[in-house]
Amino acid sequence: MKHLLSIEDLDQEAVDGLLDRAESFAEVSKRDIKKVPALRGRTVVTLFYEASTRTSSSFELAAKRLSADVVSVKASGSSVEKGESLKDTVETLSAYDPAAIIIRHPQAGAAQMLSEWVDAAIVNAGDGMHQHPSQALLDLFALRQRIGSIEGRKIWIVGDVLHSRVARSNIQAFSMMGADVTIAGPPTLIPRGIEASGCEVRYGLEGIEEADVVYLLRMQHERMEESFVPSIREYARLFQVNSRRLNPRQLVMHPGPVNRGVEIGGDVIDSDRCLIADQVASGLAVRMAILFELLAHGGETHANAEGPVPIGEPA
């Protein structure tokens, strides 16, 4: 694995390997000294063209925990605001000879373009409505920690699938790992022909009791102004997942940030069945694993290597 651009870059074995690795890193995070020297002397650039809290902070921290030097560039307040093109910005940053560039960009394919322009390993931290592979991997990790394998499990993804890169990566990732994926939402927010990617499509929550996991997507207020839904109130009435709609064995996930009382009831967030905190915690370990696999593991996918490599002593 040279880059992580899309879930399609991985197979089941590679995912399992990454998650095994993440488990060892989760261990490290429980130590007093949380740093390992794996990437000492190497440079990791984070390049964020969109606002982000979880993803940018956890990638940054992941790189630092691996002892890399980290340069964080945000579009606002940088030369991007002066009209510098993506290519020129990236070539400028390449002068620092980064081992990896982690990019978030509002347009699909930006990460792929970087991979064609520079030698660094490219990690897609979200490109337009296209892909967000590290999110899907951390979701898989959180699920594995809680319920083990998701093979044969039923997972419902509910909400604004149309505008969601998380949904696109997760449909692929969940299906690849053997889960049955159903997507549910108002027809205006379901992409045309999405069933071709192997998921079932529903226009309501009837039947949601079959789901082992309910994965909720953020519902943005702009969707109302764009006439995708008549009102957020009606959306919440039809699609909000709250305790009344769930039975105790069902798990709930959400990539954040949540709109309490819109797509998700506050009672669910505060309950045991909610994995949101697990997801955030998984982010750090999984992103350490991604950087480690790309930079410290000779570009080999884990599937081709021996079991987890012992992690070095604290730096």
Partner 1 sequence: MNEVIDGLPEEGAGNGVLPAPLVQRPGPAAKVLIRGAELLDPAAGIAGARDILIEDGTVSRLADPGSLDAGDGVEVIEAEGLHVFPAFFDPHVHFRTPGQEYKEDLETGTRSAAAGGYAGVIAMANTSPPVSSPEQIEALRDRASHVASIPVGFTATVTRDMKGTELTEMAELREAGAVGFTDDGLPIASARILRRALQYQAMTGGRIALHEEDPELSGKGVMNEGIVSSELGLRGVPSISESTMIGRDAAIAGYEGGAIQIQHLSAIESIEQIRRAKLDGVDITCEVTPHHLCLTDEAVRDLDASKHKMNPPLRTESDRQALIEALIDGTIDCIATDHAPHAVHEKEVPYEAANMGVTGLETAFSSIYTELVLPGRITLELLVEKLGCGGIPFGIEPFTLAEGSRANLCLVDLEAEWVVGEDGYESRSVNSWCAGETLRGRILVTLADGQVAFRLRSFSLGVA
| Residue whose C-alpha is closest to residue 133's, from 179, 174, 101, 77 | 174
Where does 225-297 show beta strands of DSSP type E? 251-253
- Of the residues 57, 78, 94, 112, which one makes contact with partner 1 according to CB under 8 A: 112
- Of the residues 191, 255, 265, 283, which one makes contact with partner 1 according to CB under 8 A: 191
- Of the residues 130, 154, 218, 223, which one makes contact with partner 1 according to CB under 8 A: 130
* Stretch binding partner 1 (CB under 8 A), from 57-65, 108-116, 228-236, 302-310: 108-116
Rounded CA gap, 130 and 308, in Å?
Answer: 31
113 vs 315, beta carbon nearer partner 1: 113
How many of the chain's residues bind partner 1 (CB under 8 A)?
Answer: 23
Rounded CA gap, 80 and 76, in Å?
Answer: 7
- Of the residues 31, 87, 146, 233, which one makes contact with partner 1 according to CB under 8 A: 87
Side-chain half-sphere CA neighbours of 132 within 13 A: 26
Token pair, residue 204, equals: 């309501």
- Of the residues 63, 99, 129, 284, which one makes contact with partner 1 according to CB under 8 A: 129
Residue linked to tokens 């039947």: 207
Q: Is 105 in the site for partner 1 (CB under 8 A)?
A: yes
Rounded CA gap, 146 and 251, in Å?
Answer: 9
Compose the 192-211 pattern: x for residues touching partner 1 by CB under 8 A, - for all others: xxx-xx--------------
- Of residues 148 through 167, those in contact with partner 1 by CB under 8 A are 165
**DSSP string across 185-228:** S-GGGS-TTGGGGT-EEESSSTTGGG-SEEEE----THHHHTTS
Q: Is 128 in the site for partner 1 (CB under 8 A)?
A: yes
Rounded CA gap, 125 and 105, in Å?
Answer: 8
Please list the residues that pair with 123 across neighbouring strands: 4, 102
Q: Is 109 in the site for partner 1 (CB under 8 A)?
A: yes
Rounded CA gap, 73 and 96, in Å?
Answer: 13
| Residue whose C-alpha is closest to residue 262's, from 191, 159, 157 | 159
Q: Is 108 in the site for partner 1 (CB under 8 A)?
A: yes
Residue 262 is classified by DSSP as T
Rounded CA gap, 176 and 203, in Å?
Answer: 24
- Of the residues 44, 70, 86, 102, which one makes contact with partner 1 according to CB under 8 A: 86
33 vs 196, beta carbon nearer partner 1: 196
Q: Is 135 in the site for partner 1 (CB under 8 A)?
A: no
Q: Is 280 in the site for partner 1 (CB under 8 A)?
A: no
Q: Is 176 in the site for partner 1 (CB under 8 A)?
A: no
| Residue whose C-alpha is closest to residue 273's, from 201, 186, 219, 215 | 215
Residue linked to tokens 């579009």: 75
Cis before 310? omega within 30: no
Q: Is 223 in the site for partner 1 (CB under 8 A)?
A: no
- Of residues 56 through 85, those in contact with partner 1 by CB under 8 A are 85
* Stretch binding partner 1 (CB under 8 A), from 19-27, 36-44, 53-61, 188-196: 188-196
- Of the residues 29, 92, 107, 149, which one makes contact with partner 1 according to CB under 8 A: 107
Q: Is 218 in the site for partner 1 (CB under 8 A)?
A: no
Q: Is 168 in the site for partner 1 (CB under 8 A)?
A: yes
Q: Which residues bind partner 1 (CB under 8 A)?
A: 85-87, 105, 107-110, 112-113, 127-131, 165, 168, 191-194, 196-197
